[in-house]
Amino acid sequence: MVAARGPAPTAPIRIVAPGREWGVEPVELLVERGVEKVPSTYRRVSVEEEEELMALNDNSIAAAAEVEEEDRIGSGMDIPLIDLKEWDESHREEIVSKVREACEEWGFFRIVNHGVDVHLMQRMMQVAKEFIGLPIEEKAAYVGRPGMISQGYGSKYTIGAEDAVRDWRDYLFLWLQPEEVRDYAYWPSKPEAFRETMDQYSREVQELARKVLGLMSEGLGQRTGLLEEAIGEPPYQKVLINYYPACPQPQVVDGFHQHSDIGALTMVLQEDEAPVGLQVRYDNHWVPARPLPASFVVNVADQVEILTNGRYKSIEHRVVPNRHRSRLSIPVFYDAAPDVMISPVKELAQIPIYKQVKFDDHEHAFYEYGANGKNMVQSYILSNHPLAQPLSAS
Ligand code: OGA
Ligand code: NI
């Protein structure tokens, strides 16, 4: 049986599962309806700007798009790679210094031979793919409640800013740790292996996150537990299954608008065979975090930037969609509990740069206003700190 879908392209569609409705309809539905032009609510580049770009490129949309796509995929640079294979006492120092360099210079790196079972990573990606591949009517049963930060399936990340430009992205968002915060109503029952796989994945990735935080702390010349303790017990863990459908005009939208992550540490699993999507800001370039089998992309997030008084950087990144194929990624976030106060750790901050912020307030601000570069972290810079003011020429 084939379900009839979206008859009139302009009619707002609200699929209602029992008690649920879309806050914003999934991008997947637009794609299924075969839109050739991105609706204006998703456009980051105006029609005028696009026309200018076309004029520069032979007046051909295809040529402009190709140039832009190449530009967006970036240069030959790549983020650092750290191999934990030989992580034993004799190599510890070397690995710690690589981690330190990566966190200071890039805020991003990739790890291989990290100890998480590679088959488990593959199973996780597989069940995520199967869930995303379900008919939209089935996924509708997991739609998060509109108008609040909510676990579940959806396409809208912000609760404020109704007119904010939308990202070309659908997602499933779940809170994983501590276990009391899980809301199983949003955990897919299909595919059958989803729940058990997610549960096991959650535990192994959390273990790795702790190890990495330990290496990061040692990189600061501090005891292994410093960052983990500053983030506090119990740490929270959340996961996104991000789905970026193929896009007819990838040059005018973002899959995920540029942002830094709000938590402490993020570990991203990417689909091996997908095109480049994730890009990292380095100087003024967007450097691609290319997929690499059995690896995680690890990034420093805002809390660690604040705790380390800016020594480790929570770097902006974004996701660009692809014209021809969709992409799946699974970031797992290691966060503080909502009531934890984050401020520069004494040992690392003779002169603190940032004021104290409650994680819950930071998280709410993100969901209220949406991803927007590093605005939020910048707003925490203490007003009497030199970074807060332009240096006066003398
Ligand atoms: C995020 C993010 C990257 C990706 O979810 O915060 O940056 O590749 N995701 O989906
Ligand atoms: Ni991110």
State residue 156's pLDDT score.
73
Mention every residue, 6+ apart, whose C-beta is less than 8 A from residue 391.
Answer: none
State residue 16's pLDDT score.
53
For residue range 274-298, list pLDDT tens digits in order.
888 999 999 888 999 999 999 999 9
Contact 316 CB / ligand 1 (< 6 Å): no
Q: Which residues of 207-219 are buried (b: 16+ CB within 10 A; e: fewer)?
A: ebbbbbbbbbbbb
Distance, CA 55 to ligand 1 centroid (Å)? 33
Q: How far apart are CA 191 and CA 255, in angstroms?
A: 25
Average pLDDT over residues 294-317: 96
Residues within 5 Å of ion ligand 2 by Cβ? 261
How many CB atoms are located within 10 Å of the residue 41 CB?
Answer: 10
**Helix, strand, coil in percent for the chain, rounding step 5:** 35, 20, 45
Average pLDDT over residues 25-43: 92
CA proximity to 294, closest of 128, 127, 110, 130: 110
Atom 6 of ligand 1, nearest CA residue: 261
Distance, CA 1 to ligand 1 centroid (Å)? 35
State residue 6's pLDDT score.
37
Q: How far apart are CA 383 and CA 386, in angstroms?
A: 8
Give the residue, 34 or 372, on which the prediction is more confident: 34
Confidence check: pLDDT of 379 > 80: yes
Confidence check: pLDDT of 59 > 80: no
Mean pLDDT of the chain: 87
Mention every residue, 6+ apart, whose C-beta is less than 8 A from residue 233.
Answer: 337
Share of the chain above pLDDT 70, in %: 85
State residue 377's pLDDT score.
87
Q: How far apart are CA 85 and CA 94, in angstroms?
A: 12
Distance, CA 91 to ligand 1 centroid (Å)? 31
Average pLDDT over residues 54-69: 56
Domains of the chain: 27-43+74-379 (2.60.120.330)
Average pLDDT over residues 155-160: 68
Q: Given pLDDT bands bounded at 50, 70 and 90, which one contains residue 183?
A: very high
Contact 278 CB / ligand 1 (< 6 Å): yes
Q: Given pLDDT bands bounded at 50, 70 and 90, which one contains residue 157?
A: low
Atom 2 of ligand 1, nearest CA residue: 331
Residue 108, sorted as left (phi over 0), alpha (psi -120 to 50) or beta, turns out to be beta
Q: Is the pTM of this model over 0.85?
A: yes
Most confident of 6-20, 154-168, 371-385: 371-385
Contact 242 CB / ligand 1 (< 6 Å): yes
Average pLDDT over residues 308-328: 95
Average pLDDT over residues 183-208: 97
Confidence check: pLDDT of 304 > 80: yes
Alpha helix positions (H), the chain:
27-32, 47-56, 61-73, 92-105, 118-132, 136-139, 194-219, 226-231, 302-307, 359-369, 375-379
Confidence check: pLDDT of 141 > 70: yes
Contact 136 CB / ligand 1 (< 6 Å): no
Confidence check: pLDDT of 71 > 70: no
Give the residue, 10 or 141, on which the prediction is more confident: 141
Task: Work out which ligand 1 atom sits closest to the CA atom of 278.
Answer: 8
Give the residue, 49 or 265, on which the prediction is more confident: 265
Give the residue, 254 or 19, on which the prediction is more confident: 254
Contact 150 CB / ligand 1 (< 6 Å): no
For residue range 73-122, list pLDDT tens digits in order.
555 788 999 999 877 777 889 999 999 999 999 999 999 999 999 999 99
Average pLDDT over residues 240-251: 96
State residue 317's pLDDT score.
96
Q: Given pLDDT bands bounded at 50, 70 and 90, which one contains residue 384?
A: confident
Q: Given pLDDT bands bounded at 50, 70 and 90, which one contains residue 372?
A: confident
